[in-house]
Chains A and B, each alone.
Chain A
């Protein structure tokens, strides 16, 4: 992670902008954090589909709930069991 950050810093560009896709951090069984989220396509307790900068992120789990959404960041609480990243829209 540090090498990529140093590389982007040396080139003078924002890592998120350069990547364009969603950044996903999953805390197993607790929550999941998403960056670069453009919108929510589908929302339910078992499935959440998010629209990212490039493509979509599909999250499966139990008791899923959007704890916070704003400024491109989204916190999903619940037991996340599966995350699918696709470059195609559903």
Chain B
């Protein structure tokens, strides 16, 4: 293999090939020997043997001149004459290396529903956009992401300046959340309230309004077990053209619509000719419960 650092020489003599024998005898290896003109030779030799070559051929009938550097030595000499180019290349390399340290983009794979939570957790652990990447912070963030519900496994990898978060969701059906409170769907009088687990928030005989909390889960618990019976009153109207059995039909409609057990009713009929309006004031019992069926 040719050495990397070579110099080119020009040899002039009446018998220039004899000079090569002298150099060979002194252990100097020459490369790319070419005859350029009668009595003239061009060859290359190792740069570090330059002094040796001149010493061997000094005082003889050979004229030797070093013309230029060849190979890697020539390239290095060109580069040294262009310090700006070297500085620019070094600056680009440093910039590329430094940019690799920062997180310039975050990608979430595997599941999009964790995207917002992922961004929050990464920000809290110091891995937000344009922040420096740290393996310790990444491990802490990964531990927090693993605790999200429905997540089986999470990986955090830095690929260049992109932080890739990959989720593996659990294939098991999540346990449904149990109700924590018993609400009154409509206004009425609370006839009965039974709370097996939780705290009662209304008394029997109390008049309650729609949406009022009747019972709630106790502090530190995740669900309540309660049932209640409300005595409610509703007004329903029934329109028809035929007065025959209109009251019965109106009451039937009211019972169907109330959704509870009828207790009593009052019916009023108005109208004449082909238009009758039957108004039914229905009292009914409404049974409510939360998580009660699992404990019976």
A70 touches B17 (CB 8 A): no
Q: Which single residue of chain B is at the shortest CB-CB distance from A75?
A: B31
Q: State A45–B35 Cα separation when bound (angstroms).
A: 9
B35 touches A68 (CB 8 A): no
Q: State A72–B18 Cα separation when bound (angstroms).
A: 14
Residues of B within 8 A of A69 (CB): 20, 24, 29-31, 33
Residues of A within 8 A of B2 (CB): 68
Partner of A39 from B18, B27, B33 at Cβ < 8 Å: B18
Assess A65 versus B32: contact at CB under 8 Å? Given A39-B24, A70-B27.
yes
B28 touches A40 (CB 8 A): no
Q: State A60–B2 Cα separation when bound (angstroms).
A: 24
Partner of B28 from A38, A41, A67, A70 at Cβ < 8 Å: A70
Residues of B within 8 A of A40 (CB): 17, 20-21, 33
A65 touches B34 (CB 8 A): yes
Q: Which single residue of chain B is at the shortest CB-CB distance from A73?
A: B29
B29 touches A70 (CB 8 A): yes
B31 touches A68 (CB 8 A): yes
Interface residues in chain A, defined as those with a beta carbon under 8 Å from any beta carbon in chain B: 38-44, 65-72
Interface residues in chain B, defined as those with a beta carbon under 8 Å from any beta carbon in chain A: 2, 17-18, 20-21, 23-24, 27-35, 41, 43
A-B contact pairs, 24 of them (CB 8 A): A39-B18, A39-B20, A39-B21, A40-B20, A40-B33, A41-B17, A43-B33, A43-B41, A65-B32, A65-B33, A65-B34, A66-B32, A67-B31, A68-B29, A68-B31, A69-B24, A70-B23, A70-B24, A70-B27, A70-B28, A70-B30, A71-B24, A71-B29, A72-B24
